[in-house]
Structure 1
Amino acid sequence: MIGLIGIGMMGRGIGHSLLRSGHPLSVLGNKRREAVEELLARGAIEAVSPAAMVSRVEAIILCLPSEAAVREVLFGPSGISSTARPGLLVLECSTLTPTTGRDLAEQLARIGVDFVDAPLTGGPTEAMQGRLNALVGGDGIPPAVDSILATFCKQTFRFAGAGNGYGAKLISNFLAFNNLVAIAEAMTTAQKAGMDIDTLLAAIEGAGGQNRCLTGLGPWLTGNGQSRSRVKLEIAAKDVSYYCLLAQELGTLGPVAEQVRNRLRQGVADGLGSELTPQYISHVAAAAGVRLPVSP
């Protein structure tokens, strides 16, 4: 049996993918009861605490929003470590720092628990379809990791050294959110200049400015559809801050990362923390006296 803690937008799809693949599943409920009830209706069982889950499962997947939440689940009074047995596997799919990953791996190794950092790329749709990507960090990774990840991932990328899965995810997210900040400023400039956004996006599509972030935002920018992004701005700001910590530790922190971090932090300070990232673009445009997305 597999345990799953964190039934949010990503965890919901992971749970469905695990059940669809035939894995018996134990879940730890949270405030999103509708997602938990969906999984229970399909045959999952609900644990009352991380500690109680341990006795039923061979591996536990964590998909949580913050380091504090992960540490509470692992080491809190009713945490996994309080009842863990040697050989238990913790597959941690949140987005944390490499330093945190190494620390968690070392602490759990002292009690015989295998820890693997495996943050994910993709979104809720890909999670439900079993088409995420996993960025796995560590050496001597248990064989069970690949078989578990295969139930909800289309690809797995391995990085030697505990914590380097997190590092790879932070680099990926920094590039994505760097594009978000640049798109907000560039599209605001275009709108202010009176350019047709549809025509501009068509021109960029075959040019060097094209990127996956812009492709996903295209329908939203033109007022013709929804953005593919389901990330809250506070999460984007957190991830870029984590990237800056990593780069600072390595002596590679540059002005671009610092500017992106500061811009996203300002967006959160302006009250956009709980909004999805496209609203940051609307905010930047409004400050310049124009409107994005374009009205249909």
Structure 2
Amino acid sequence: MRPTVTIIGVGNMGGAMAANLLAQGWAVQVCDIDPARVADLEKKGASVLAVPAQAAMNSIAFAVCVVDAVQTEEVLFGAQGLACMLQPGHTVLLCPTIAPQDVESFATRLAALGVHTVDAPMSGGPARARDGTMSLMVACPAAVYEQQAGLLQALSGKLFRISETPGDGARTKLVNNLLAGINLVGAAEVLALAGRLGLDPERTLDVIEQSSGQSWIGSDRMRRALAGDYAPRAHVTLLEKDTRLAVEAARAAGFEGPLGARTSQVFAEAHEAGLAGLDDAAIFKHLASR
């Protein structure tokens, strides 16, 4: 049996990460507010925690895989958060997509407890998290990276060492997700246009996938959209949040691009149109209805 890892937040990505580690023989503790999520992982061999503060002291790392900075604050420093039991030398992996300044703030507060921070946002979706081929963008001191290399390599077949400074992983993830959002809105727009021009959207997508307009997220989401499949894998609200954070980071750096802000606005519009709980493929539904 390999060492123990604690994962707080076992939704689509955190749950897939936990399943991947369990399949490799790691001991995994999980905690989530959704009983069905933890029950499924318990059947696979995970130990279930009622609250983060119950995590085992011998965990080699504590991975936080919740949605945003508010939830991260609660998991780390809430009344029953990890800070209640963390000891000097422990390591926390911050995996959510949150603002760089929030990562920096969490890292500073954890450092005051003698706890290391690995800024490790993830990308690739649940299927790739489950089979260990997702991307991890890692920013942490070299000594901490070496200490956690076995776990990081078990989680990701595409491991990118960004820098030694927590916060830079978050910056990289926001840049990536802004482009993902731009590509998704672009793909949805052109397929909605294809339909309005009297073209077969599926045949049009066949052409795009083998031509200069191809993008991975466009193909992945538009295939689902054209099939009418909007069951949420990644809710509209996730890229709404991520593109908003990316635009805020750009403005803070004094950069104003032509596409980012408009893309972020499209996701906000889709939310307001009642599509927030659907898969982000619903951007096609939103644009096609105009």
* Contact in 1 for aligned 2:17/2:129 (Cα 8 Å): yes
Counterpart secondary structure, 2:255: coil
Counterpart secondary structure, 1:242: helix
Aligned to 1:87: 89
Greater shift, 48-57 or 106-115, is seen at: 48-57
Against the structure 1 CA distance between its residues 212 and 77, is the aligned structure 2 distance closer, same or farther, given a 3 Å change threshold? same
What is the letter of the counterpart of residue 277 of structure 1?
D
Q: Which 5+ residue runs of structure 2 have no aligned equivalent? A: none
How many residues get paired? 285
* Contact in 2 for aligned 1:130/1:152 (Cα 8 Å): yes
CA distance in 2, matches of 1:45, 1:100: 29
CA distance in 2, matches of 1:105, 1:221: 39
CA distance in 2, matches of 1:280, 1:201: 16
What is the letter of the counterpart of residue 208 of structure 1?
S
CA distance in 1, matches of 2:208, 2:166: 39
Choose which of 199, 203, 208 in structure 1 pairs with 2:207: 203
Matched, 1:176 2:180: yes
Shift in Å at residue 163 of structure 1? Answer: 0.8
CA distance in 2, matches of 1:41, 1:220: 30
Aligned to 2:281: 278
What is the letter of the counterpart of residue 210 of structure 1?
Q
* Contact in 2 for aligned 1:119/1:136 (Cα 8 Å): yes
Matched, 1:17 2:30: no
Shift in Å at residue 262 of structure 1? Answer: 1.1
Aligned to 2:250: 247
Superposition TM-score, scaled by structure 1 size? 0.90
Q: Which 5+ residue runs of structure 1 have no aligned equivalent? A: 288-296
* Contact in 1 for aligned 2:191/2:205 (Cα 8 Å): no
What is the letter of the counterpart of residue 77 of structure 1?
A
Shift in Å at residue 29 of structure 1? Answer: 3.4
Greater shift, 41-50 or 214-223, is seen at: 214-223
Choose which of 26, 48, 51 in structure 2 pairs with 1:49: 51
Aligned to 1:217: 221
Aligned to 2:73: 71
CA RMSD of aligned residues (A): 1.9
Superposition TM-score, scaled by structure 2 size? 0.92
* Contact in 2 for aligned 1:91/1:115 (Cα 8 Å): yes
CA distance in 2, matches of 1:11, 1:210: 29
CA distance in 2, matches of 1:81, 1:140: 24
Aligned to 2:161: 158
Choose which of 2, 5, 19 in structure 1 pairs with 2:5: 2
Shift in Å at residue 229 of structure 1? Answer: 7.8
Shift in Å at residue 2 of structure 1? Answer: 1.0
Against the structure 1 CA distance between its residues 197 and 249, is the aligned structure 2 distance closer, same or farther, given a 3 Å change threshold? same
* Contact in 2 for aligned 1:173/1:240 (Cα 8 Å): yes
Listed as ranges, the matches of 1:121-136 within 5 Å are: 121-136=123-138
Counterpart secondary structure, 1:150: helix
CA distance in 2, matches of 1:147, 1:209: 38
Counterpart secondary structure, 2:135: strand
CA distance in 2, matches of 1:219, 1:276: 12
* Contact in 2 for aligned 1:188/1:285 (Cα 8 Å): yes
CA distance in 1, matches of 2:143, 2:171: 17
